[in-house]
Amino acid sequence: MIASLDQFQDPRPAHIDPQHWQEWLDSGVDPDIIAANVRSLSGEEPYDYLCCSEKLERTNTGRLASKWLKSYGHVEDGGWWCSGLDPLNDWQPMLWGCFKPNLPRWEKPQGFGSQGKEKRVKYEHPPKTQTRAFFLAVPDHVWEQVAERYSKPISEEDRQHSFWWWAWKYNVPTIIIEGAKKAGCLLSCGYAAIALPGIWNGRRKATDTEPEALIPELQHFATLGREVHFCFDYETKWKTRIDVENAITKTGRLFKQSGCEVKVIQLPGSQKGADDFIVAQGSEAFEEVYNKSLDFEVWQAKRLSQLNHPVKQIVNRRYLGDIDIPSSAKLIGLKSPKGTGKTESFINLVDQALSESRRVLLIGHRVQLVQAICDRLGLPYVTELKSAEEGATLGFGLCIDSMHPNSQARFSAGDWKDALVLIDESEQVFQHLLNSNTDVRTHRVEVISQIKQLFQNVIASDRGQIVLSDADLSDVSIDFVKGLAGVDVQPWIMLNRYLPKQGCKIHSYEKPQDNYQKLIETIEEDTRVFISVDGQKAKSKWGTQAIETDLRNRFPSKKVLRIDSETVSNPNHSAYGCVSELNSILGKYDIVIASPSLETGVSIDLRGHFGAVFDFALGVSPADAVRQRLFRVREGVDRHIYIAECGLNRVGNGSSSVKSLLASQHRVAKENISLLTRAGMEFDAVGGVNVDTTALNTWAKMAARVNAGMSVYRETVLQGLREEGHTIIQVAEAGGNADSLKASRDENYQQECAAIQSSEDISEIEFKRLTKRKSKTKGERYRERKYELKQRYQVDVTNELIELDDDGWYPQLKMHYYLTLGREFLRGRDKRAAESTFHEGKSWLPDLNQSQLGTAISFLDKLGLLQLLNRSAEAHDRSPDQEWSNVSEELKRMAQLAIHNRWQIRAVLGVTIREDYTPIQAVQKLLSKLGLKLECLRKEGPRGSQVRIYALQLPEDGREAVFQAWLERDSQSVSDDTVVTNGNRSINNLCDYQVA
């Protein structure tokens, strides 16, 4: 490490002018690095370095053409030159480099019609030559510094080569930075830094013949497992910051594709470059920033969560309080941390609107939560309109699912022109609208159309206003409203920068059982606890039901309340309707267990009641939702959390690239529409089938954010908590045990399966009546579930069937059936499914694609899966050509085809095929879509080189009976001739079906 610049006593070498020497010293660069890489030039010398390209025009005498002499005449006044070493030429001095003239030239903006001021060209690079990267020559003492930092050896053989050869050989972590001086500063501090001449110069754009790629010298360093850190300048201008982030994104993805571990260093400011920061703050301060580098996926998620729109008012308040919003503001954004009373701030806004005879519309995404906020604001919820004294005169609150004319709200956007529209927790409301599989999916096209018209009407009206409120408010939500409204309205944004003086202590556990053990110990100490989990299903080991049963068994004297989607809507349960009176009700309980029903919009303000909060985040809820629910209890008590390393749920093709997500949806939709056209569906070619481009782009941004967070789930959650000012305490493995919890889960689940199986059968009319009811008893839920299973499988409902369905059996069976016996019914099935997603000729592409099976079936067929099924038979009839191994030519061909088309397979089938998969692994992945697998029969060959032999055996899980029932059902919907044909088909020939 360099202690201070004053300690540099090395004399200036003769080839460097004093001002150039001092300039590099002022950037914190080691004198030996300066001496080895920098040279002062003047007169005609710069031409020899800059004008090296053979593409430059010259006279017959070899002299540069006059236009070049005229353009570069300023270099004769002198400047410094820096190049470095060439990794593509055995680390010899690189011919390419940069020249910083003492008197820079001025340059006009480029491009047709370009306007603006002329700018100084600070650095010159050889014209007519592709830009390269700087690998500065490194003296021995700096080399040893880097080796010490990363604990890498330096052998005698290494010393025969160069520092960079050694750094490449040992996969030394590397920093990518802009500017040779900054690289020199980082090298002086013991970091292996490669400099680019500009943020975009690490990659080559795609051409008609070549894909986008890293420049060759960076590709040389893009070795498997190498840490690559980006450290570009701290920028304050919004456009420049976006440009920098885009450059990191595109170049970083190329490094990721080569197997590197990409991280992003975020300079805190106010110094712009890394060299300025190190000179001002010291190398220790940079080391702290370096150690906080964000994983690429975490950085990507954070980037898509930023608020870059100009802020009109910045405050620092414990509670947001009254907000003085200009009457001219049409789109208002309120970004304020959790627990700062954002919802309370709505009260004055509502009172003011009502005093001006403007109606108020409150939009949320969870019934219980919207009802609770309506109570606080004095507004009726939509179901209370008939009994409310004023009816709908004042306005009302509703879930975004109900924003269509056919709902109980009979919603019409035309009724709200001058309204005050409040959208609390807007990020999650819009996420729910665009991606949820709940009731909104049935009417998603209508809801998007209505909310688009609502935004247009409100913003175009004289007094209308839209308020977005969220602790994590981002550009994504604001741009969504602006895009739907269709006008470039400037948002009025208030930012509350309040952070608690002392955040909470958050204990992070490596294993869920260790967190559970701490939970038990805490309750044994007579401490009241609040517990958050991902779900409530009886089959879930870490769901509300299993934890409730186990804790009741352990602590029979404690009062336990379970809050989830089932209990809050069960009129016979203590949690029924509890959200509206949460603080008064929770004070009566020692242990409260909550599912994501309380994820957003809830503030638990009890003081001195709960002594600790526990959370089990298994990777189901998005990372930001976990942070939200962890602080529903506002008091600053300790938090204890288990977070899965990787999340479970991905959106679309699972990519964290907006471009990839959109491209995937459009490609799959194109295939689906082609198949549906052959099935007889007609499409309006004008404008396409997707309901709205802005909405789809927003879906992709939110999906990319979720997917990026899921890739590094634990770190994403923890990083967000750190930035909120909380202290993370990593808890060592404690050997916790959750056997009793598993036993409770198993007991609950078996009881539930038995209860569903023994429930009375209900009619279709009774089922439809139940589905419309928001309040249901447990018995009614069981009867509803039994009816659904009976209709789904067309066979008697048994405990085994219930368990298989809970394990995801249905989509596997559908795929198997339509690939084989049900193939002739596939077009009809897909046509009906597609029609259910359309409204007035428009659909929502993600829903349309998700509803279709034809493209997926076609893919499996082309990959050879049907052929594989056809070759299978009963075990006693098996012949050698029905057995496979990793050396089987047929499986090798299938695997090669799958690996070659792995991106399409991911988009269409949702299956990840890795490049390093063996043939057996690739085929097993494909078979898993059907709920099938190859079974290992035996090993063959001599010891040490044995080969495993596999065969496909149909599982004895009852699918034959289901397929026969489906075949009979589907046969009823076709012509008599087809029925006769189908009647001759035997279910026993399941693996011997040929496609017509």
Amino acid at 973: S
Q: For residue 977, what pLDDT is reported?
A: 41
DSSP3 helix / strand / coil % (the chain, rounded to 5)? 45, 15, 40
Question: Per the structure block, which two tokens stand in for 425?
Answer: 């927790």
Q: Give the pairing type, strands 395-399 and 465-469.
A: unpaired
* Helix 342-355 with 367-377: angle, nearest 10 deg: 60
Query: What pLDDT sits at residue 23?
Result: 94
Specify the pLDDT at position 984: 37
pLDDT at 725 (0 to 100): 86
State yes or no: pLDDT of 55 exceeds 90: no
Is the pLDDT score of 154 beyond 60? yes
Residue length, the chain?
A: 996
Spatial separation of the C-alpha atoms in residues 254 and 945, rounded to whole Å:
37
Q: How many CB atoms lie within 10 A of CB 314?
A: 10
Mean pLDDT score, 137-145? 94
pLDDT of 270: 84
Please state which of the ranges 436-450, 569-583, 846-860 shows the lowest mean pLDDT.
Answer: 569-583
CB 465 within 8 A of CB 328: no
Statement: residue 762 has pLDDT above 90: yes
Task: Report the run of H or E that residue 424 belongs to, with start and end.
Answer: strand 420-424
Q: Please work out, in degrees rounded to the nearest 5, the angle formed at the alpha carbon of residue 844 by the alpha carbons of 838 and 846.
A: 130
Query: CB under 8 Å to 978, separation ≥6 — which residues?
Result: 824, 971
Q: What average pLDDT score do residues 308-323 get? A: 90
From CA 626, how far away is CA 960, in angstroms rounded? Answer: 42
User: Which residue has better confidence, 504 or 107?
Assistant: 504
- pLDDT at res. 236: 81
Confidence grade of residue 877 (pLDDT, cut at 50, 70, 90):
low
Question: How far apart (Å, rounded) are the C-alpha atoms in residues 881 and 863?
Answer: 19
Ranges of H-type helices in 615-692: 623-630, 658-678
Strand partners, 727: 505
pLDDT band at residue 737 under the 50/70/90 scheme: confident
pLDDT over 90 (residue 578):
no
Q: Is the pLDDT of residue 160 over 60?
A: yes
Predicted pLDDT of residue 104: 87
Single out the residue of 177, 122, 165, 137 nearest to residue 30, CA to CA: 137
Question: Is pLDDT above 70 for 22?
Answer: yes
pLDDT the model gives residue 569? 87
What pairs with residue 294 in β-bridges? Answer: 264
pLDDT in tens, 81-101: 999 999 999 999 999 999 999
Structure tokens at 31: 């004198």
* 965, amino acid identity: A
pLDDT at 981 over 50: no
Lowest mean pLDDT among 314-328, 387-401, 619-633: 387-401
pLDDT higher at 989 or 973? 973
Q: What is the pLDDT of residue 177?
A: 97
- In this prediction, residue 67 carries a pLDDT of 65
748's tokens: 């609950």
Give the list of residues 6+ apart from residue 155 with CB closer than 8 angstroms, or none. Answer: none
Mind listing the pLDDT tens digit for each residue in 886-926?
999 999 999 999 999 998 899 999 889 988 899 999 999 99
Q: What is the pLDDT of residue 151?
A: 93
Question: Tokens 């008893």 map to which residue?
Answer: 777
Of 360, 204, 184, 209, residue with least CA distance to 279: 184
Average pLDDT rounded to a whole number, residues 948-974: 90
Per-residue pLDDT at 987 exceeds 50: no
The C-alpha atoms of residue 186 and residue 4 are separated, in whole angstroms, by 14
Could you read off the pLDDT of 621-655 as tens digits, one per residue?
888 889 989 999 989 999 999 999 999 888 999 88
| In 53-114, beta strands by DSSP E | 79-82, 85-86, 92-93, 98-101, 106-107
Q: What is the C-alpha separation between 492 and 831, in angstroms, rounded?
A: 46
CA 5 from centre of chain: 44
Span between the terminal Cα atoms of the chain, in Å? 74
**Per-residue confidence at 115, pLDDT binned at 50, 70, 90?**
low
Q: Is the pLDDT of residue 136 over 60?
A: yes
Cβ neighbour number for residue 917 with a 10 Å cutoff? 17
pLDDT per position as a tens digit, 923-937: 999 999 999 999 999
- What local confidence, expressed as pLDDT, does residue 2 receive? 36
Closest CA to 431 of 413, 420, 444, 412: 444
Structure tokens belonging to residue 186 = 């980082």
pLDDT of amino acid 988? 40
Torsion of CA 80, 84, 86, 87, to 10 degrees: -150
Q: Which H or E run contains 744? A: helix 739-758
Question: Which whole number is the average pLDDT over 688-708?
Answer: 93
CA distance 803 to 807: 6
For residue 532, give the amino acid letter. S
Q: Tell whether the model's pLDDT for residue 365 goes beyond 70.
A: yes
DSSP state of 310: P
The per-residue pLDDT for range 470-515, each reduced to its tens digit, is: 989 999 999 999 999 999 999 999 999 988 777 899 999 999 999 9
Mean pLDDT across 149-178: 94
Q: Encoding tokens for residue 577?
A: 């309707």
